[in-house]
Amino acid sequence: MNLKQQVNMSFPNTNPTSTESWKKLKKLADNPSTLQKYFAGNPSRAKSYSISWEQFFVDYSKNHIDKEILDSLLKLAKETGLEDARAAYLGGKPINQTEGRSVLHTALRAAPESTIQVDGDNVVPEIYKVRNKIRSFSKSVIDGTRKSASGKPFTDIVNVGIGGSDLGPVMITEALAYYKNHLNVHFISNVDGDHVMEVLKRVNPETTLFVVVSKTFTTQETLSNAMTSKKWLVKAMGEQAVATHFVAVSTNLPAIKAFGIQPENVFPMNDWVGGRFSLWSAVGLSIALAVGPDHFEELLYGANQMDLHFASTPLAENIPVILALLTVWYTSFLGAQSEAVIPYTQYLHRLPAYLQQGIMESNGKSVDRNGAPVTYETGNIVWGEPGTNSQHAFFQLMHQGTKLIPAHFIGFKNPLHGNADHHDKLMANFFAQTEALMNGKNEAQVREELIKIGMRGEVLEKLVPFKIFTGNKPTTTLLIDKLTPKTLGALVAMYEHKIFVEGVVWNIYSYDQWGVELGKQLASVILNEFEGTQKAIHDFSTEQLLAHYKKDAS
């Protein structure tokens, strides 16, 4: 079956620019209004553009939309077949057609009684088998019944993985640090030998458990780091310690065996789980070890709640759908190149990095589902840092720079440590920033302020232009009751579905990642050159750089 036939089989394939709504949105984009005017003209705007769901309150009223724009975006979703696409995605159809796979991270958090078929088999019982294995294994490490090769309880866990086999587990363990137990969890990802050595420096081989996570078990970084860790362990404790101190998560069982990991220490995963969506699978083993299996399962439960919301809520009240359509509007019609994610909790400091892989590896595509170049802007750049730190770093550009940067502000009503004084300060900043970004400060206000502090004449006149804030900067506020495993699961799942919806509207394949291959291929050619097994021809710049590297390396 060729690609085009597969496309026709189960997934909508609509060039969005051919739809009525796209043409209308193009026209609407040519007549921009301002946020200030939108609010002035509609006293119930805040209420109309908000969604309350479970522990989430999403206020998207500070965005460049009005009823006509929003209706057209919703129509665009319909015209590009979002509802059929959603059914195909959640129903396990092979929507990752360039790799011939289903996309079923949602199955990993489905209720035990659900039936989700892949190639005619219900995958749910197998998912629960692995989940039970995660539960009993992590419990035994946490309570110390599982012992190291020298008979001691484990004190440290080292997760060895990269990309989706690292970013999800790191982000979640950091986010749930409040719920953590006594185990110290470390992460080695980069092939940079200094990274692995810095981690190994901090742990004791006698009480360290390595969790090697690689869907393919062919990733250069992970295999190198796993091998270095193995040598380090063997040097301290002997070859026989590997069986007790190494476990693996992968789809590639023969490669794990060849590495020397015992079959009972293998946590399988399936090829219908994409790496960047895999934290809900056995890839989350380090999470279960860090916070315990109960919290891990609550995380999955929260994600499942968001799945149900996404699956059954009308598009106009569907949180991931609305957020995705806003992104499409800014990216494809208003020229935004990036989107900021600003969590107002230090616990979520790795969320932007995690979302960078999820969003940019998924929707950083320029060819549509027919293999033709797209004629519109797709996947945007995602970046961010926690507030309030980011206020003292890049907020200057957000307030007074020239770029259009729609931003998500994520805040929590309740702090975890109950420090109300700090939390009120944090949240005062949270609310103030979106207000300032929207309303800005006009010339008259600036003058009045300067006059109040006694400034007059030429000095005042010179300063005025620099103190004006145009405002009109769009933000979406997500106010969540409390950072718990459940709300975190829902938040991450919300972004996963947002990615999906954007991909449907843009008519691109969100679940492959061919763009990461070329660099890997060329790195292996250069490595062969370093090892003297191959001589390749490079461009003049690369030749020059390689010559310098060889000189300096000695």
423 is catalytic: no
- The size of the interface with ligand F6P (CB under 6 A), counted in residues, is 14
Task: Look up residue 474 and give its two tokens.
Answer: 């769009």
For 335-347, the three-class secondary structure string (H helix, E strand, C coil) is CCCEEEEEECCHH
Q: Is 165 in the site for ligand F6P (CB under 6 A)?
A: yes
Candidates 16, 163, 284, 343: give the one binding ligand F6P (CB under 6 A).
Answer: 163
CB of 101 to ligand F6P, least distance (A): 13
Query: Of the two residues 14 and 189, which places its CB atom closer to ligand F6P in the complex?
Result: 189
Tell me the CA distances in angstroms from 472 to 60, 61, 394, 476, one per residue in order: 14, 12, 17, 13
**Of residues 189-208, which lie at the interface with ligand F6P (CB under 6 A)?**
none
Identify the three-state secondary structure at position 330. helix
Tell me the CA distances in angstroms from 258 to 210, 262, 264, 419, 487, one per residue in order: 16, 10, 14, 51, 40
CB of 93 to ligand F6P, least distance (A): 21
Q: Is 1 in the site for ligand F6P (CB under 6 A)?
A: no
Strands 56-59, 117-118: pairing kind: unpaired
Closest CA to 77 of 148, 150, 153, 25: 25
Candidates 164, 292, 343, 489: give the one binding ligand F6P (CB under 6 A).
Answer: 164
Strands 266-268, 338-343: pairing kind: unpaired
Q: Assess contact for 436 and 399: CB atoms under 8 A.
A: yes
214-222, 337-345, 387-395, 404-412 -> range binding ligand F6P (CB under 6 A): 214-222
Query: Of the two residues 45 and 101, which places its CB atom closer to ligand F6P in the complex?
Result: 101
CB of 514 to ligand F6P, least distance (A): 10
d(CA 35, CA 139): 52
Point out the catalytic residue in the list 257, 392, 425, 550: 392
Query: Of the two residues 361 and 502, which places its CB atom closer to ligand F6P in the complex?
Result: 361
**Of residues 245-304, which lie at the interface with ligand F6P (CB under 6 A)?**
275-276
d(CA 463, CA 10): 61
Closest CA to 355 of 283, 408, 413, 307: 408
**Of residues 493-522, which lie at the interface with ligand F6P (CB under 6 A)?**
513, 516
Q: Is 69 in the site for ligand F6P (CB under 6 A)?
A: no
d(CA 45, CA 353): 33
Q: Is 186 in the site for ligand F6P (CB under 6 A)?
A: no
361 is catalytic: yes
Query: Of the two residues 16 and 164, which places its CB atom closer to ligand F6P in the complex?
Result: 164
Give the DSSP H/E element, type plus range, for residue 256. Answer: helix 253-259
245 is catalytic: no
Tell me the CA distances in angstroms from 314 to 45, 182, 236, 310, 491, one per residue in order: 20, 44, 59, 9, 19
Q: Assess contact for 25 and 333: CB atoms under 8 A.
A: yes
Q: Is 214 in the site for ligand F6P (CB under 6 A)?
A: yes
Q: Is 181 in the site for ligand F6P (CB under 6 A)?
A: no
**Of residues 320-359, which lie at the interface with ligand F6P (CB under 6 A)?**
none
1-9, 159-167, 366-374, 530-538 -> range binding ligand F6P (CB under 6 A): 159-167
Q: Which residue has the tokens 């992970």?
A: 222
Point out the catalytic residue in the list 23, 425, 520, 548: 520
CB of 269 to ligand F6P, least distance (A): 9
User: Active-site residue numbers?
Assistant: 361, 392, 520
Can you give the binding site for ligand F6P, defined by CB under 6 A?
162-165, 214-216, 219, 222, 275-276, 361, 513, 516
